[in-house]
Structure 1
């Protein structure tokens, strides 16, 4: 494992790998790594000869300055975790100014309507920030494959659209959600949860599992009511629950044959915002 903070040095190293026709994998992260991230890195190591892991808390994808300030930054422990993996791994930990050239603003993207659903409704400008930093990274690193977790399923679909509209030659690989023993989807934000909140947050997975079990026998309206009632009787605050078409991410009110559906939700445990999703059929 080698750590780079200077983009020119990283680009020069990657150019030497390309000259030798080495396949490059890329795992973008914002640090505060957990086993979910490690599963992405491990897959990249298996499928590529070189893996670049970025550790960069991207300011343009935060709509709430307090959330940005509180986002965990744990570089030392992150590097220790990455060292547990064998393979040719390059870590890229740049400064904000080196990527944004002192102008920390987002480019505006149109993702065919994907950006207007769920997270897009509740986090203004979030996906513009995601698209901006990934466009920078993709053009700089020029990876053959890039790996993203399905916990952020809407983001995964948007990244696939980004590659299409920016005409980028990179294969986007979606990887399964990795969960805590109690079913809570692994997230860097989990580090901000108290022991009690972490236990209570298992409700997200419990609710999604129940929705999946009852999806065939219950109407979508009934499932919406069920979820709202479960959260009303808990210490967590539900921000949204939606059943959507997997491809368009548009909320559906009635089920149709031969369509793939997925349930999405966002909820707060105290001040910590958590998201999760699950395929229903």
Structure 2
């Protein structure tokens, strides 16, 4: 595996691979890699000739300075895992490489309603930060295919919008969420959970499963929502949202009866266990 810290030599390498008619796959991460990330690397390896992974903890997408400071850093283990997975290239830029003019007064992106609901509502400015870093990464890597996980459902929709705004030829491949044996969605933030909270965290998966079952039985949505919220609060969670949305637009899909809404739906949850915020979703 080749490690690049600067965009210029990375771009030269990518151009050489493209000149040799090789397809380039890209997996952007913030490190603290888990099996979900490795599954994205493996998917890229199946579909492309060269797989590039980036590790960069992007300061502009954090609403909370302490969340940024506490974000897990496991770079040595990450490198070992990427090499074992057969990743071809690791891009490991500094903040100065990504934001040579600093992080103030950065560009803004027209994301429409996507940044007014769910994650956009509870983390104002977050998706602007995602777009700021992804625009730079996509421009630097120039991949044919971009691989991202469904756990960050709304983020995938935002990046899809960004690709349109950039008029980028890169194709977005959204891959299924990987879960622990007890259902907890794999996440770098799980490393911050105490053993006790790690057990409680499975409640989110239990709630999503409940929502899916009861929606498909035609139960009244407010009843389902109240049950799910009680499960979470009883387990010690502080809830940001428990919602049912149109799987294609993220607009609320909560008609009077869940069964009246005919389109594909997704249940989404965001909640805190102490100071660790967890998100998950499930197609219904």
Question: Which TM-score applies when normalising by structure 2?
Answer: 0.95
Q: Unpaired segments of 5 or more residues in structure 2?
A: none
Deviation at 1:232, TM superposition (A): 2.6
CA contact (8 A) 2:151 2:177 kept: yes
Moved more, 228-237 or 73-82: 228-237
List per-residue Cα deviations over 1:47-92 (Å, max 9, x = no partner): 11111100000011001111000001111000011111135x1000
What's 1:168 paired with? 168
CA distance in 2, matches of 1:86, 1:266: 33
Corresponding residue SS for 1:181: coil
Whether 2:101 is the aligned partner of 1:97: answer no
What's 2:52 paired with? 52
CA distance in 2, matches of 1:108, 1:7: 22
CA contact (8 A) 1:145 1:170 kept: yes
CA distance in 1, matches of 2:254, 2:89: 46
Deviation at 1:33, TM superposition (A): 0.2
CA distance in 2, matches of 1:92, 1:147: 15
List per-residue Cα deviations over 1:76-123 (Å, max 9, x = no partner): 000011111135x10000000111103114421122312211000011
CA contact (8 A) 1:52 1:90 kept: yes
CA distance in 2, matches of 1:95, 1:109: 23
What is the correspondence of 1:168-247 to structure 2 with a 5 Å cutoff? 168-216=168-216, 217-247=218-248
List per-residue Cα deviations over 1:156-181 (Å, max 9, x = no partner): 11111111121111100000000111
RMSD of Structure 2 on Structure 1 (CA) = 1.2
CA contact (8 A) 1:241 1:264 kept: yes
CA distance in 1, matches of 2:254, 2:13: 51
What's 2:119 paired with? 119
What's 1:251 paired with? 252
Deviation at 1:257, TM superposition (A): 4.4
CA distance in 2, matches of 1:274, 1:13: 37
Q: Deviating runs (4+, > 6 A) in structure 1?
A: none
What is the correspondence of 1:12-161 to structure 2 with a 5 Å cutoff? 12-86=12-86, 89-105=88-104, 106-161=106-161
Q: Unpaired segments of 5 or more residues in structure 1?
A: none
CA distance in 2, matches of 1:161, 1:266: 22
CA distance in 1, matches of 2:45, 2:249: 31
CA contact (8 A) 2:28 2:55 kept: yes
Corresponding residue SS for 1:215: helix
CA distance in 2, matches of 1:91, 1:148: 16
CA distance in 1, matches of 2:86, 2:134: 26
Moved more, 230-239 or 193-202: 230-239
CA contact (8 A) 1:107 1:129 kept: no
CA contact (8 A) 1:31 1:75 kept: yes
What's 2:278 paired with? 274
CA distance in 2, matches of 1:181, 1:15: 41
CA distance in 2, matches of 1:131, 1:227: 32
CA contact (8 A) 2:253 2:261 kept: no
